[in-house]
Structure 1
């Protein structure tokens, strides 16, 4: 019996979902440990899937663009306040390098790959898929930052101006996310050469939809963050829901244009 290339990804996705379910049921150092575990599992999930389904070139492109690129932009942000604003990390997320917890660039990688593959499902131009993937990744931060700031994992020195209801996080942060996400997805598009959907992308689509739906639910019900549930639900939904609609819409059969004589 042959094993699908996606099987290891399904196993990792199951472990990640379990860790995320445990997150709101814990607190303190235990919750921080589940945060780190979730990011590590997500990183392994995305990189492993890229390698097994698209080959080493795609996996290395993902690591280069998202992991190394994510660390570089975070180190720049901590040192210069550009492009996210003036912020710093607490010591709750593990060891740091140049002021950046080592799991932070893993988080960029974890969500960049499903955002990219989900965009490949849309029947739009390649450049437009870059835009959709970048917007979806940046919109995910409307869930991530409010949750992490509420936990005290990082903070902004000057958190204004902010979006209504999302105090503690400046708008510059979201603009910085969007700007870097465009650069990241452009690099991933060029170097990975992945520009079409694949038969083994189920785990990544599952991760993308799960992240969106579970984030809305968790923020609205379990984490007492209703504003981020609304902002993230609307804006990330603009990238996620069209993919869901496209996948659920039955394909039209090709019309036979030939005329048959009686």
Structure 2
């Protein structure tokens, strides 16, 4: 399989997300579904190409299977996200959960894990950073999807300032499940690749693109300035150190100009 495949998929994903603010109604909903499916395929294919079938299968089992299980539990019992339900705009459902929802968990779980693996040593710190890196994405995602009418809460209080419609319990539920997800993925995700190896670069780019494009979209195109601020602060915990680390490594790899001894 071609290791350029994740880069090609990322290019198509970027184009799809650029088109998102230009659409509305059923077209926007369809583009949302297509974007999630594409993001899912990018992450799973990258896991397969760089870590092998065992890691890719583990990602699907833990993130996709676990994501569906926690969402079905949430719809049925209101735990851990609060009392909510999905509209019918995101395609077919199983147990009240649109089938694309667990794909979204998988899409961002993999780059969040690799970001944490790049920045922290093995152990609790890595699991914690990966969990925060994934859960913070929801500070963008839920306000946007609620504004679109794709799902809603029966009781959205208490909510974060500027983010009505999404209870704080939802973000705490995301964090709880993200910790469990990353703890389960840790022994199954395959080896950490040395930073000089560029095979993980598409996932770093995906994580940073998601961060920067979400801030821009919410602040400028979607009319959601509060979620732009909350999301920018939350995802910065992982995104900013990642950007700094990649910049530093790029400078270290840059050839040094020879010193002229006769000058």
Same fold (TM over 0.5): yes
Question: Given that residues 6 and 202 in structure 1 are in contact (C-alpha distance below 8 angstroms), is that contact kept between their aligned partners in structure 2?
Answer: no
Residue in 1 aligned with 2:200?
A: 201
Structure 1 residue 188: deviation in Å?
A: 0.7
Residue in 1 aligned with 2:187?
A: 190
Residue in 2 aligned with 1:257?
A: none
Which residues in structure 2 correspond to 1:27-46 (within 5 Å)? 27-46=24-43
Q: How many residue pairs get matched?
A: 249
1:93 to 90, 93, 105: 90
Residue in 2 aligned with 1:238?
A: 237
Which residues in structure 2 correspond to 1:16-165 (within 5 Å)? 16-165=13-162
Structure 1 residue 120: deviation in Å?
A: 1.4
- Residue 176 of structure 2 aligns to a residue in which SS? helix
Structure 1, unpaired ranges of 5+: 253-262
1-structure distance, mates of 2:237, 2:130: 11
Q: Which moved more, 1:10-19 or 1:189-198?
A: 189-198
- Residue 41 of structure 2 aligns to a residue in which SS? helix
Structure 1 residue 199: deviation in Å?
A: 3.1
Question: Given that residues 51 and 190 in structure 2 are in contact (C-alpha distance below 8 angstroms), is that contact kept between their aligned partners in structure 1?
Answer: no
Structure 2, unpaired ranges of 5+: 254-263
Structure 1 residue 235: deviation in Å?
A: 1.0
Return the TM-score normalized by structure 2: 0.92
Residue in 2 aligned with 1:227?
A: 226
Residue in 2 aligned with 1:13?
A: 10
Question: Given that residues 58 and 194 in structure 1 are in contact (C-alpha distance below 8 angstroms), is that contact kept between their aligned partners in structure 2?
Answer: no
- The answer on 1:181 being equivalent to 2:178 is yes
CA RMSD of aligned residues (A): 1.4
2-structure distance, mates of 1:147, 1:19: 16
Question: Given that residues 127 and 179 in structure 2 are in contact (C-alpha distance below 8 angstroms), is that contact kept between their aligned partners in structure 1?
Answer: yes
Return the TM-score normalized by structure 1: 0.92
1-structure distance, mates of 2:233, 2:155: 26
- Residue 136 of structure 2 aligns to a residue in which SS? helix
1-structure distance, mates of 2:187, 2:122: 15
